[in-house]
A = this chain, B = another copy of it.
Amino acid sequence: MSADLEDDFAFLHQLSRVAAEVVLPRFRTELAVDNKAGSGAYDPVTEADREAELAIRAAVLAAHPGDAFIGEEFGAVGEGAARTWIVDPIDGTRSFVTGIPLWGTLVGRIDRGRPALGLMAQPYIGEDFLGDGNRAELWRNGTGRRLATSRVTAVADARLMSTSPAMFSPEEFARFERVHATARLARYGGDCYAYCMLAAGMVDLVVESSLQPYDIVALIPIVEGAGGAVATWDGGDPQHGGQVIAAATPALLEATMALLAT
């Protein structure tokens, strides 16, 4: 591992601690939950989300004052830099507000247009998932291990995860159902954790929609670093979110795209 990568991963661990200090004391307590989507929808945003974003932003800009920073809650600072950090302090707010420890703090870095570094931190379980597109690691209790995706290439052999059927439009759901019906096993309720289990070789396929850039940018270098492949449903660049496939192998990505397009 290069000294640069060691520095990058060490900095991600530091950001994980910065976020956990703010977020963990508010997990499984009575929370002040705003409703930023207005009446009719329920989109919990907590104080934890806002304070963690400010804490992460302060740490990033202190260490890398020339970089740009985009957060879910407070928008962008310093656009136009060669490197842009993009952060979702609590990805999986429904998990968070129901006490389920599958939410995560997502920190991604885009270098000259390419997702190049990513962290998914789950501080209640005590896990940091890290990746740079060539290497991915899981750290827990001070011990790290390298991650590798499975070698599954056929949808019929794949363990499929997706956060919720509610994330798809009816037209999308009909297409998703073909993958769902073909897969060996399917499970809802993943959020960012599903992508990390894909990197760990425990899940083979994640198919989602309605993603924001801050939902996916951090996860791309982790999945790719473990040997997986990420793209939009029609094979485009996934960093802008929308309809996303993450697969254990490029062949499985192709097979899933074909099934979604049928």
Contact = CB atoms under 8 A, between A and B. Distances in A.
Interface in A19-33: 28
A27 to B, nearest CB: 9
A182 interface: no
A216 to B, nearest CB: 19
B100 A102 contact: yes
A142 to B, nearest CB: 16
Interface in A186-200: 186-190, 193, 197, 200
Which of A28, A124, A125, A189 has the most B CB atoms < 10 Å from its CB? Answer: A189
A17 interface: no
A172 B159 CA distance: 26
A245 B260 CA distance: 36
Copies of the protein in its oligomer: 2
Interface residues of A, number: 30
Contacts of A101: 101, 125
A188 B101 CA distance: 14
Contacts of A200: 28, 99
A97 B44 CA distance: 30
B94 A185 contact: yes
B124 A187 contact: no
A184 interface: yes
A190 B187 contact: no
A130 interface: no
Given A102-B102, A185-B42, A97 B202 contact: yes
A155 interface: no
A100 B184 CA distance: 17
A98 interface: yes
Given A98-B161, A197-B98, A187 B185 contact: no
Interface string A37-65: 00000101000000000000000000000
Interface of A: 28, 42, 44, 94-95, 97-102, 124-125, 159, 161, 164-166, 184-190, 193, 197, 200, 202-203
22 contacts: A28-B200, A94-B185, A97-B159, A98-B159, A98-B185, A98-B187, A98-B197, A98-B203, A99-B197, A99-B200, A99-B203, A100-B102, A100-B187, A100-B190, A100-B193, A102-B102, A124-B125, A125-B125, A164-B187, A164-B188, A166-B186, A188-B188
Given A188-B188, A189-B189, 9 more contacts: A42-B184, A94-B187, A98-B197, A98-B203, A99-B200, A99-B203, A100-B187, A100-B189, A164-B188
